[in-house]
Amino acid sequence: VIKKAVDLGINFFDTADSYGPWFADRYLAEGLKSASNRDEIFISDKVGQTRQGPGVWTPHGEPNYLRQQVEVSLMTLGIDHEDLLFLHRIDSHFSVAEQVGELKKLQDEGKIKHIGLSQVTVGQIKEAQKYAKIDAVENLYNVSDHRDDDVLDYAESQHMAFVPWFPLNTGKLTGANSPLAKIANKYKASPAQIALAWLLKRSGNVL
Protein backbone atom coordinates (compact mmCIF):
# COMPACT_ATOMS: atom_id res chain seq x y z
CA VAL A 1 0.00 0.00 0.00
CA ILE A 2 2.81 2.42 0.91
CA LYS A 3 4.72 1.66 -2.28
CA LYS A 4 1.58 2.16 -4.36
CA ALA A 5 0.90 5.46 -2.61
CA VAL A 6 4.39 6.68 -3.47
CA ASP A 7 3.91 5.57 -7.09
CA LEU A 8 0.72 7.67 -7.19
CA GLY A 9 2.63 10.76 -6.05
CA ILE A 10 1.69 10.81 -2.37
CA ASN A 11 4.55 12.38 -0.42
CA PHE A 12 3.01 12.94 3.04
CA PHE A 13 2.69 10.11 5.56
CA ASP A 14 1.26 10.41 9.07
CA THR A 15 2.30 7.85 11.69
CA ALA A 16 2.81 7.40 15.45
CA ASP A 17 4.66 5.01 17.75
CA SER A 18 1.31 4.02 19.31
CA TYR A 19 -0.19 2.90 15.98
CA GLY A 20 -0.08 -0.87 16.19
CA PRO A 21 1.55 -0.11 18.61
CA TRP A 22 4.96 0.21 16.91
CA PHE A 23 4.06 -1.63 13.71
CA ALA A 24 2.99 1.39 11.63
CA ASP A 25 6.49 2.88 11.84
CA ARG A 26 8.03 -0.44 10.81
CA TYR A 27 5.70 -0.82 7.85
CA LEU A 28 6.34 2.75 6.77
CA ALA A 29 10.11 2.36 6.97
CA GLU A 30 9.97 -0.83 4.91
CA GLY A 31 7.59 0.64 2.35
CA LEU A 32 9.73 3.72 1.77
CA LYS A 33 13.05 1.87 1.42
CA SER A 34 12.83 1.63 -2.35
CA ALA A 35 11.28 5.06 -2.96
CA SER A 36 13.34 6.89 -5.58
CA ASN A 37 12.12 10.25 -4.24
CA ARG A 38 12.75 9.48 -0.56
CA ASP A 39 14.19 12.97 0.05
CA GLU A 40 10.90 14.51 -1.08
CA ILE A 41 8.74 12.47 1.30
CA PHE A 42 7.50 14.23 4.44
CA ILE A 43 6.76 12.18 7.55
CA SER A 44 4.49 13.38 10.34
CA ASP A 45 5.08 11.45 13.56
CA LYS A 46 3.70 11.48 17.11
CA VAL A 47 4.84 10.61 20.62
CA GLY A 48 3.22 10.96 24.03
CA GLN A 49 0.43 8.41 23.85
CA THR A 50 0.54 4.71 24.62
CA ARG A 51 -1.81 1.91 23.66
CA GLN A 52 -2.61 -1.04 25.89
CA GLY A 53 -5.30 -2.68 23.76
CA PRO A 54 -8.23 -2.06 21.39
CA GLY A 55 -9.73 1.31 22.25
CA VAL A 56 -7.35 1.82 25.18
CA TRP A 57 -5.13 4.88 24.83
CA THR A 58 -3.13 6.40 27.69
CA PRO A 59 -1.26 9.73 27.44
CA HIS A 60 2.33 9.59 28.68
CA GLY A 61 4.05 12.95 28.64
CA GLU A 62 6.95 12.43 31.04
CA PRO A 63 9.75 14.41 29.36
CA ASN A 64 12.34 11.61 29.43
CA TYR A 65 9.79 9.26 27.89
CA LEU A 66 9.04 11.72 25.09
CA ARG A 67 12.77 12.01 24.38
CA GLN A 68 13.18 8.23 24.39
CA GLN A 69 10.30 7.75 21.97
CA VAL A 70 11.65 10.34 19.56
CA GLU A 71 14.98 8.49 19.54
CA VAL A 72 13.22 5.14 19.02
CA SER A 73 11.14 6.56 16.15
CA LEU A 74 14.20 8.03 14.46
CA MET A 75 15.88 4.63 14.64
CA THR A 76 12.80 2.69 13.50
CA LEU A 77 12.04 5.01 10.60
CA GLY A 78 15.70 5.23 9.59
CA ILE A 79 15.80 9.03 9.65
CA ASP A 80 18.06 11.58 11.33
CA HIS A 81 15.31 14.06 12.19
CA GLU A 82 11.53 14.27 12.46
CA ASP A 83 9.97 16.45 9.73
CA LEU A 84 6.96 17.10 11.98
CA LEU A 85 6.58 15.71 15.50
CA PHE A 86 3.24 15.96 17.29
CA LEU A 87 2.69 15.72 21.01
CA HIS A 88 0.01 13.06 20.55
CA ARG A 89 -1.87 14.09 23.68
CA ILE A 90 -1.20 16.52 26.49
CA ASP A 91 -0.70 14.49 29.66
CA SER A 92 -2.38 16.15 32.65
CA HIS A 93 0.25 14.68 34.97
CA PHE A 94 2.89 17.02 33.55
CA SER A 95 2.83 20.70 32.67
CA VAL A 96 2.62 21.88 29.09
CA ALA A 97 5.94 23.62 29.73
CA GLU A 98 7.59 20.30 30.59
CA GLN A 99 6.15 18.42 27.63
CA VAL A 100 6.46 21.01 24.89
CA GLY A 101 9.69 22.25 26.43
CA GLU A 102 11.29 18.82 25.94
CA LEU A 103 10.24 18.79 22.29
CA LYS A 104 11.77 22.26 21.93
CA LYS A 105 15.06 20.95 23.34
CA LEU A 106 15.00 18.14 20.78
CA GLN A 107 14.24 20.71 18.09
CA ASP A 108 17.23 22.79 19.20
CA GLU A 109 19.34 19.62 18.92
CA GLY A 110 18.23 19.20 15.30
CA LYS A 111 16.13 16.09 15.91
CA ILE A 112 12.78 17.75 15.20
CA LYS A 113 12.12 20.26 12.43
CA HIS A 114 8.51 21.22 13.19
CA ILE A 115 6.47 20.78 16.39
CA GLY A 116 2.74 20.05 16.43
CA LEU A 117 -0.05 19.32 18.92
CA SER A 118 -2.83 16.75 18.64
CA GLN A 119 -6.40 16.95 19.98
CA VAL A 120 -6.03 20.26 21.76
CA THR A 121 -8.11 23.32 22.61
CA VAL A 122 -7.30 26.88 21.62
CA GLY A 123 -6.24 27.53 25.20
CA GLN A 124 -3.80 24.64 25.14
CA ILE A 125 -2.30 25.84 21.86
CA LYS A 126 -1.79 29.31 23.30
CA GLU A 127 -0.12 27.83 26.38
CA ALA A 128 2.19 25.69 24.23
CA GLN A 129 3.13 28.71 22.11
CA LYS A 130 4.82 30.17 25.17
CA TYR A 131 7.46 27.45 24.98
CA ALA A 132 7.86 26.67 21.29
CA LYS A 133 6.71 27.61 17.81
CA ILE A 134 3.74 25.39 16.99
CA ASP A 135 3.52 24.67 13.28
CA ALA A 136 0.63 22.21 13.09
CA VAL A 137 -2.47 20.92 14.87
CA GLU A 138 -4.11 17.52 14.37
CA ASN A 139 -7.66 17.23 15.75
CA LEU A 140 -10.75 15.14 15.07
CA TYR A 141 -12.56 17.01 12.33
CA ASN A 142 -14.87 16.16 9.43
CA VAL A 143 -18.06 17.37 7.78
CA SER A 144 -20.23 15.52 10.32
CA ASP A 145 -18.19 16.51 13.39
CA HIS A 146 -16.66 19.96 13.34
CA ARG A 147 -16.93 20.89 16.99
CA ASP A 148 -13.37 22.19 16.78
CA ASP A 149 -14.16 24.98 14.33
CA ASP A 150 -12.55 27.42 16.75
CA VAL A 151 -9.33 25.40 16.80
CA LEU A 152 -9.18 25.31 13.01
CA ASP A 153 -9.86 29.05 12.82
CA TYR A 154 -7.15 29.79 15.38
CA ALA A 155 -4.67 27.53 13.60
CA GLU A 156 -5.41 29.35 10.35
CA SER A 157 -4.87 32.73 12.01
CA GLN A 158 -1.49 31.51 13.27
CA HIS A 159 -0.46 30.03 9.88
CA MET A 160 -0.43 26.50 11.33
CA ALA A 161 -1.19 23.45 9.22
CA PHE A 162 -4.36 21.64 10.33
CA VAL A 163 -4.47 17.87 9.91
CA PRO A 164 -8.02 16.50 10.38
CA TRP A 165 -8.08 12.96 11.74
CA PHE A 166 -11.06 10.75 10.89
CA PRO A 167 -11.67 12.91 7.77
CA LEU A 168 -14.12 10.26 6.53
CA ASN A 169 -15.51 9.55 10.03
CA THR A 170 -14.09 5.99 9.96
CA GLY A 171 -16.00 5.23 6.77
CA LYS A 172 -19.37 6.59 7.79
CA LEU A 173 -19.05 9.32 5.14
CA THR A 174 -18.36 6.83 2.33
CA GLY A 175 -20.50 4.32 0.47
CA ALA A 176 -24.11 4.25 -0.67
CA ASN A 177 -25.50 4.92 2.80
CA SER A 178 -23.39 8.01 3.38
CA PRO A 179 -25.30 11.18 4.29
CA LEU A 180 -23.33 12.73 1.43
CA ALA A 181 -24.57 10.26 -1.17
CA LYS A 182 -27.22 12.59 -2.64
CA ILE A 183 -24.73 15.44 -3.03
CA ALA A 184 -22.16 13.02 -4.48
CA ASN A 185 -24.64 11.81 -7.11
CA LYS A 186 -25.42 15.40 -8.08
CA TYR A 187 -21.75 16.13 -8.77
CA LYS A 188 -20.94 12.66 -10.17
CA ALA A 189 -18.39 12.08 -7.41
CA SER A 190 -17.98 9.64 -4.56
CA PRO A 191 -19.15 10.53 -1.03
CA ALA A 192 -15.51 10.32 0.10
CA GLN A 193 -14.51 12.89 -2.51
CA ILE A 194 -17.24 15.24 -1.30
CA ALA A 195 -16.12 14.81 2.33
CA LEU A 196 -12.51 15.60 1.47
CA ALA A 197 -13.46 18.47 -0.84
CA TRP A 198 -15.47 20.01 2.02
CA LEU A 199 -12.39 19.89 4.25
CA LEU A 200 -10.16 21.48 1.62
CA LYS A 201 -12.76 24.18 0.95
CA ARG A 202 -13.20 24.85 4.67
CA SER A 203 -9.75 26.39 5.06
CA GLY A 204 -6.54 26.80 3.11
CA ASN A 205 -4.46 25.38 5.96
CA VAL A 206 -6.22 21.99 5.98
CA LEU A 207 -3.85 19.22 4.98
Q: What are phi and psi of 12, to 5 degrees?
A: -125, 125
Query: Rg of the Cα trace of the chain?
Result: 18
Which of 19, 131, 141, 154 is catalytic? The answer is: 19
Q: What angle do CA 73, 77, 78 make, to 5 degrees?
A: 115
Using an 8 Å Cβ cutoff, are 164 and 139 in contact?
yes
Are 49 and 60 a contacting pair, CB within 8 Å?
A: yes
Angle in degrees, CA 48, 95, 79, rounded to 5: 30
Q: How far apart are CA 118 and CA 12, in angstroms?
A: 17
Is 187 marked active-site?
A: no
What residues form DSSP beta bridges with 86? 46, 116
DSSP one-letter string for 84-145: EEEE-S--TTS-HHHHHHHHHHHHHTTSEEEEEEES--HHHHHHHTTTS-EEEEEEE-BTTB
Cα separations (Å) of 39 from 17, 35, 135? 22, 9, 21
Active site (catalytic) residues = 19
